[in-house]
């Protein structure tokens, strides 16, 4: 959360911040997420809320949780499909 406030680059601070977010998620064993452009406003509002509400990160945690759930459901669907394909191939 703090990185986004620093803005060390002329351009690309948001992209870099989202990459760092994914790095932290992957270090903890979670898949990377992609904050949709349509949610960018909400994403930035989470930072505003964090800085104005005494460093309360609950809104960002909620947003990231939603994206993680969505991503994990995609992974589950991929595994299900792979299992179905495997079963069909075994039956010949």
Question: Which one is catalytic: 1, 5, 7, 61?
Answer: 7
**29 marked as part of a ligand binding site:** no
Catalytic-residue membership of 7: yes
Beta carbons within 10 angstroms of residue 50's beta carbon: 19
**83 marked as part of a ligand binding site:** no
**52 marked as part of a ligand binding site:** no
Residue among 39, 36, 53 at smallest CA distance from 1: 53
**67 marked as part of a ligand binding site:** no
Kindly tell me the burial class for residue 88, based on how many C-beta atoms sit within 10 Å of its own C-beta (0-12, 13-18, 19 or more): exposed
- The annotated binding site is made up of 11-18, 43-44, 53
List residues forming the annotated binding site for ATP. Answer: 11-18, 43-44, 53
Instruction: Enumerate the active-site residues.
Output: 7
């Amino acid at each position: 959360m703090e990185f986004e406030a620093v803005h060390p680059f002329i351009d690309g601070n948001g992209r870099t911040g989202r990459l760092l977010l994914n790095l932290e998620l992957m270090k903890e064993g979670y898949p990377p997420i992609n904050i949709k452009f349509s949610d960018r406003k909400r994403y930035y509002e989470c930072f505003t809320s964090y800085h104005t509400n005494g460093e309360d990160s609950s809104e960002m945690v909620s947003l990231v949780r939603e994206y993680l759930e969505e991503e994990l459901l995609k992974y589950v669907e991929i595994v299900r499909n792979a299992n179905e394909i495997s079963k069909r191939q075994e039956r010949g």
